[in-house]
Structures are given as structure tokens and as C-alpha cells.
Structure 1
């Protein structure tokens, strides 16, 4: 099971309890919004774990190419939970407190929870960045291009959590020193943030659910490898691909080969091509099928 998911679940569990207690004792709407956010994140990590466990079952008679897309489905459910439970409820809470602003009690308690949350969320984000072999500056590119649904969920959730904590801090300061209405405004902004993050997840997971292919440049590299390395190729008809799980690719190759090629030569050539393609795309687990036509 993914280290990043475990780290995020632990961090969000501690944070959700802390924020919930702080919201209860201080009456802060923005802290309540953040408590809901972290509670939703805990449920999300649990759903991601369900997806990982189902995907790990592999191939069966009913699932010839494995059950890797279970990761995509359960991560899509995560986006729905984040949107409904996290975003919409926080927006509602924000509007309610804007209409009925109340002073915050024990602001130092909230500040302490914010510091604890930043430390825990930052640690979870570092684990996710390390697992995805990326840096903070390249994180948005990783989110856009990654086919690993659990990495998408954790990176988006942890980034959103840190941004939410910044909003919470600003809301706290302005509520204490300017006007209590800023607490409700902060809750509204946190809810809007969560809706925005869930929308990003919707977009990225939709592509994977309906069958996203390898990018054009990678497909071109595969074609060039086949044309260069095959000893029996006459014509390459097609190379088609689809993500069937987190970093798991189904690759279909159709090729015409020499009519005097023996069965052994064809089998050996295809085996070597498969190994070379897998070596070139070592970041992916490849399921490669080759249709051969003799001419």
C-alpha cells in the first residue's frame, strides 16, 4: 500500500481531531470548515486504500486486463466527497457566519493547531513528492501528467490543505484585529478552494476513466524503437495504448513481418521488443500484445 496514502491518512486523522476540538472550543467557522476538510480527507484516503486493494487483485476470468481501473473509480468518488462534503458544506458555513458573525474565543488555540497542521501536512506532502519522484516546483506538471490516481489525490489534497491553512491564518488575524466577519469569509474561501480542487480531480480522473492513451511523444518513441530494433518488420500498422491502472499501460502493436520469418524468429523478435519497450518505459507496468501479419 502507498506510503504517501498512509502518511496522509495519519496526518489528516490527527489534524481532523485537533481542528474539530479547536472549532468546538473557539466557535470559529473557518476552523470548522478546515475540520470538515480534514475529516473528508481521512475518508478520501480510506477510499483510495479500497481502490488500491481491489486493483492489487490483478487479472481474473472476469477482468482480463486486471482491475487497475478500480484506483481511478475510487479516486473519482474521492473527488465527489471532496466536492460535496468538504466544499459545499464549508461554503454554507461561510455564508452562515458572514450573516451572523461572532467573535472568536481562544485564538491562540487556533494558532497552535495551525502550526501543528502545517508541520503534519508538510511532512505528508514531502512523502508524496518523494514517491512521485518530483519536486514542489514541478508538482503541477506531475498532477497534469500523472496516471497514478493515488498520487493525484494526495498531491492535490495536501496542497489544498496547506493553502487552506494560509487562508485560515489570514482569517484568524483579520477576525481578531479587524472584524469577526472575516472568519466567515475565510470559511467561504476554503469551501471555494475545495470545490476548485475537486474540479481538478474530476478533470484528471475523467481522462483516465474513459481510457487515456500514452502521450504523443512516448508513442513516437515506441514506434521508433520497433522500427529500429525489429529484425522481421516490414510495416508497422498501428500502436495503440490505454492506461488500465495507476502507471499500468495496455499496449497493442500491429505489424507486418517478412513472409519467410519462422515462428521461432517471430517469437524471439517480439519477446525482445517487449523487453526493450518495458525497459524504456520503466516507470510504467506494461501489458504488451502484438498482432503479427506475414506478407
Structure 2
């Protein structure tokens, strides 16, 4: 089954994974907020902001899954595949602003104003963190299971929506652990600096994750090349054609999760008449479209070597892959 044929089924699985993470984060965010207010705990309130940020991001990811599947039109002739990358970038910004910055604020606020220990409230807060750890862990297991089904870490994490959910859930598990440790040390020592330090650590973790996710989305939005193995497969196919003397240049660019634009400049062997050039170009493009499923748009700049050397006038042709 081709990658593009499998895509709708994969999207449905990803949608379920995102919905599981969304449900977990909304319930946990409410529980953490109530627990944080009862315990007057900056670390627990930081974790509540983290869960709210994650919940908002899941909404962004659901929008990306729906909008990226819209067909190409006159205004967007290469389709809407990059919507996936745009909404993932917004999710990274959400993690930075709503999670990271608020966590730093809570840490500074705790150091400046202090926090009164309330044993009953802290006990309830730590119970909330235990439940959150179990829920976030279950969501992470679900996401990692899908990653494994989609080919492992390399292929599975190509999907920015799934990559974001895995990063969020893994960060949430670690963040809950930091918050629990900070609260426990605050209760044992009576020093709020432990809980403030947990808030700072959670903030730093979220800022780092937001940076990594944002960098990935940025690279894809500005025109990232297809995977090196895809480039190598296309070049090998071109060089294997008996009519091609040399491949002068090959360019690829991802236009979506499973689609890419391919542009190549090739020199044909001498002696091919002009009528046959068009026939050869069409056959080569169809061969690329069949061999490389993600090659959605294919353009060839075809030149007969002796004619180019004599006149320097290439003839360009273009066609949608697999047509």
C-alpha cells in the first residue's frame, strides 16, 4: 500500500491519539488548578498551566489534521499540506508562552512572596499529581504505540501532530515528577526555594521543548527538502534512464506530510529528435511518480546535450506526478 493511500487511515489514528491527550489534559488541568489553589503550591500551579497549554495545543493539532487534507485549488495549487506545519508552530508558541513563561512567573512569585505550608492541601495536591502521572503516562504509551506502528522513531515522528503529542506527554510526565519532588521537599524542609526551583525547572523544560518543536516546524514551513533517501532514489532512477546523459541538478521540497515537489535538470544523450523528447519526459515523470509515492508534483528541465552546447536553449516541461 502506498504512503499516500495509507495517509487517511494514519490520520484517523493520529486524531484518536490527539483526542486521548486532549481529554487527559483538560481533566488534569482542572484537577491541578484546584489542588494548586488549595495547597497554595507554585509548582502545582505551574503544572496546571502546562496542562492548559497542552490542551490548547491539542486543539491546534486537530485543526491541522482537518485543514491539511483540503484539496488543491487555484489559490493554493500545491495544496494545503503545510497547514500541518503551521499549526504545529502555533502549538510550540503555546507551550512557550502559556507553559514556560507562566512557570517562570510562578517560581519568581514564590521566591518573592513565599508560600505557606498547608499539609492537607499539599496532600491533596500530591494525590492529584499521582493521578496526573498515571493519566499522562497512559497518553504517552498510546502515542508511542502509534509511533511504533508507523515505522518507529524516524518514520513515526515525521508527523508533526504526533511528534508534538509525544513531546508534550513526555514533558508532562517529567514535569509532574519535578512538581512532586519540589512539593515534597518543601513540606519536609519548610523552604519554598525547593518548590520555586521545581517551577523554574518545569519552565526551562517547556522552553526547550517549545524551541525544538518550533525549529522543526520552521524548517518545514520555509521549504525543507525531502528525506535524503528520497532524493537518492529519484537521482538513481533518473541516472538509470538510457536516454539521460547526466543529471545536472535535482531539487525537492516537502509540500505536505506525504507530498513533495520534485524539479530536475537533465541532459539527454545526443541524437534524440524533438518529438521523442516530450515522450521521454512524460515517461520519466510517470516512472518517478510510481516509484516515489510522495512525488506529487514533478517538473523536468530537459535538454539534448549537443543542442544545449550549441545553442544554450533548454526546453522545460512540467506535469503532476503519476499522471
Please classify the TM superposition score into its range, dividing by the shorter chain length.
0.7 to 0.9
For residues 31 and 84 of structure 2, what CA distance do their matches in structure 1 show? 30
Go from structure 1 to structure 2 and tell me whether the alpha carbon gap of 1:67 and 1:226 turns closer, same or farther (over 3 Å shift). same
- Structure 1 residue 220 and structure 2 residue 232: aligned? yes
Find 1:268's aligned residue among 283, 286, 292: 283
Number of aligned positions between the proteins: 283
Tell me, in whole angstroms, the C-alpha distance in 1 between the residues paired with 2:227 and 2:118.
51
Normalising by the residue count of structure 1, what TM-score does the alignment of the two structures yield?
Answer: 0.86
In the alignment, what sits opposite 1:118?
133
1:64 aligns with 2:73: no
Q: Which moved more, 1:33-42 or 1:12-21?
A: 12-21
- Aligned partner of residue 47 in structure 1, secondary structure: helix
* Structure 1 residue 236, shift from structure 2 partner: 1.8
Length-normalised TM-score, structure 2: 0.79
Q: Does 1:78 align with 2:91?
A: yes
Say which of 148, 159, 183 aligns to 1:172: 183
Identify if the C-alpha distance between structure 1 residues 263 and 195 changes in structure 2 by more than 3 Å, giving closer, same or farther. closer
User: What residue is the counterpart of 1:127 in the other structure?
Assistant: 142
Partner in structure 2 of residue 156 of structure 1: 167
Task: Indicate whether 1:197 and 2:212 are aligned.
Answer: no
C-alpha distance 134-199 of structure 1, shift in aligned 2 (>3 A): farther
Q: 1:19 to 1:8 in 2, by over 3 A?
A: same
Distance 1:36-1:72 versus aligned 2 partners, 3 A rule:
same
Residue 147 of structure 1, CA deviation: 4.0
- Residue 281 of structure 1 corresponds to which residue in structure 2? none
Q: Which moved more, 1:147-156 or 1:104-113?
A: 104-113
Tell me which residue corresponds to 2:116.
Answer: 102
What SS does the aligned partner of 1:192 have? helix
| 1:225-236 matches, cutoff 5 A | 225-228=237-240, 230-236=241-247
- Indicate conservation of the 8 Å contact 1:55/1:69, yes or no: yes
* Cross-structure match for 1:289: 298
**C-alpha distance in 2 between matches for 1:293 and 1:250:** 17
Pairing 1:184–2:159 present: no
* In structure 1, distance between residues paired with 2:267 and 2:118: 74
Are residue 6 (structure 1) and residue 19 (structure 2) matched? yes
- RMSD of aligned C-alpha atoms? 2.4
Q: Cα distance 1:179–1:246, how it changes in 2: closer, same or farther (>3 A)?
A: farther
Change (3 A) 1:224 1:46: same
Residue 241 (structure 1) aligned with residue 255 (structure 2): no
Query: Offset of 1:148 from its aligned partner?
Result: 2.2
CA shift, 1:171, in A, is 0.7
Map Cα deviations across residues 68-91 of structure 1 (whole Å, 9 max, x no partner): 111211211111121111111111
Larger radius of gyration: 2
Shift of 1:12: 0.9
Give 5+ residue unaligned stretches, structure 1: 279-284
CA contact (8 A) 1:255 1:290 kept: no
Structure 2 unaligned spans of 5+: 1-11, 305-323
Whole-Å separation in 2 of the counterparts to 1:159 and 1:192: 14
Partners of 2:302 and 2:202 in 1: CA distance = 58
Distance 2:124 2:115 in 1: 19
Question: Would you say the 8 A contact 2:285–2:298 is kept in 1?
Answer: no
**Deviations 1:196-242 (CA, angstroms, capped at 9, x unpaired):** 211112222111111111244542232123323x3432322322111
